[in-house]
Amino acid sequence: MSALRITCIPAGNPGPYTGPSGNNTWLVDGREPLLVDAGVGEVSHIAAIEDALAGRPLARVFITHGHPDHASGLPALTARWPSLDAVVGLESARQTIPAGDDHLQIVATPGHSADHACLWHEASGSCFSGDLLVAGGTVMIAASSGGSLRDYLASLAHLRALGPRRVYPGHGPVIEEPVALIDQYIAHRRERDRQVRRAFEAGARTLDALVAAVYPDLAPALVGAARDTILAHVRKLQGEGAIGFVDGLEGVRPSGPDH
């Protein structure tokens, strides 16, 4: 086993959902350079990868999931490196892939999206987490476009059981204490479950009423994301038999740029 040589190359797509420098893409350098996530095809992103490789070809790209900010740059990458091996999340039948001077394990982690997967390096306890974990906030569960809170919590438990020591996320800084962050995430989701349950028991019977009860001072620009989040909790709680019928679930549309 060799140590991983890892460089963050921002995708150049800054925004409220992606961060001040855009998505993180991670170059694992060595004999077979691997890029984790494809970005969005920005010319500056391709140029930065070229500079990091210093004339060597990019061997492969691993796409953690199909949301546009992680996957839509694939055509630009394959145009620049036509022999590029593209491995797409759970669409791949492979269990491991070459990365730099070593191999990484593909770990199924659905929840944020149905097709989400991470990369795991057991020797160093390193994980490339896509949108499973981010520092400084919580991950939105895109329930209106295939996300599942139940699956997401199971994926968090799976990663926790692996004992990660460092996580390289799709957004934000490197996570140095991932187990503590996972525990915070789980506690946050349990508290949100309790809030939704209390609102339902107090008489909220529509999705909008639940959103208003749980987020009483919500800025208008955040209503769509909040509805998607509450939808994820409602579906989980209904599956557990904890709450009954809620009206308005069918009318929820994706809440903005998927990330």
* Stretch (H or E) spanning 242: none
**72 and 190: one domain?**
no
**143 and 213: one domain?**
no
249: in domain: no
**Domain end residue (candidates: 145, 176, 207):** 176
146: in domain: yes
Amino acid at 131: D
Q: What is the pLDDT of residues 108-148, one digit of tens each?
A: 999 999 999 999 999 999 999 999 999 888 898 989 888 99
137-160 as b/e: b if 16+ CB within 10 A: eebbbbbbebbbbbbbbebbeebb
22: in domain: yes
**120 and 209: one domain?**
no
**153 and 118: one domain?**
yes
- Give the pLDDT of residue 77: 98
**29 and 122: one domain?**
yes
Pairwise CA distance, residues 119 & 109, whole Å: 10
Residue count of the chain, please give it: 259
255: in domain: no
Please spell the DSSP secondary structure of 186-206, one letter per residue: HHHHHHHHHHHHHHHHTT--B
**156 and 215: one domain?**
no
Whether 4 and 126 have beta carbons less than 8 Å apart is answered as: yes
- Give the pLDDT of residue 16: 81
Q: Which residues pair with 117 in a beta bridge?
A: 108
92: in domain: yes
- Give the pLDDT of residue 116: 96
Pairwise CA distance, residues 11 & 69, whole Å: 9
Pairwise CA distance, residues 257 & 244, whole Å: 30
**109 and 36: one domain?**
yes
252: in domain: no
Pairwise CA distance, residues 44 & 36, whole Å: 17
- Give the pLDDT of residue 3: 84
**101 and 18: one domain?**
yes
**84 and 208: one domain?**
no
CATH number of residue 34's parent domain:
3.60.15.10
- Give the pLDDT of residue 255: 57
Cα distances (Å, whole numbers) of residue 239 to 17, 180, 243: 29, 28, 9
**62 and 161: one domain?**
yes
How many structural domains comprise the chain? 2
- Give the pLDDT of residue 1: 53
Please spell the DSSP secondary structure of 64-121, one letter per residue: S---HHHHTTHHHHHHHSTT-EEEEGGG---SEEEEBTEEEEEEE--SSSTT-EEEEE
**27 and 151: one domain?**
yes
- Give the pLDDT of residue 175: 98
**126 and 227: one domain?**
no
Using only the alpha carbons of the chain, give its radius of gyration: 19
- Give the pLDDT of residue 253: 63
Amino acid at 74: L
Range of the domain at 67: 5-176
250: in domain: no
pLDDT by residue for the chain (259 residues), tens only, comes to 568 999 999 999 998 878 888 999 999 999 999 999 999 999 999 999 999 999 999 999 999 999 999 999 999 999 999 999 999 988 888 999 999 999 999 999 999 999 999 999 999 999 999 999 998 888 989 898 889 999 999 999 999 999 999 999 999 999 999 999 999 999 999 999 999 999 999 999 999 999 999 999 988 888 888 999 999 999 999 999 999 999 988 766 665 545 5
Sequence-ordered list of residues with C-beta below 8 angstroms from that of 20, at least 6 positions apart, any chain: 14
67: in domain: yes
Pairwise CA distance, residues 131 & 155, whole Å: 11
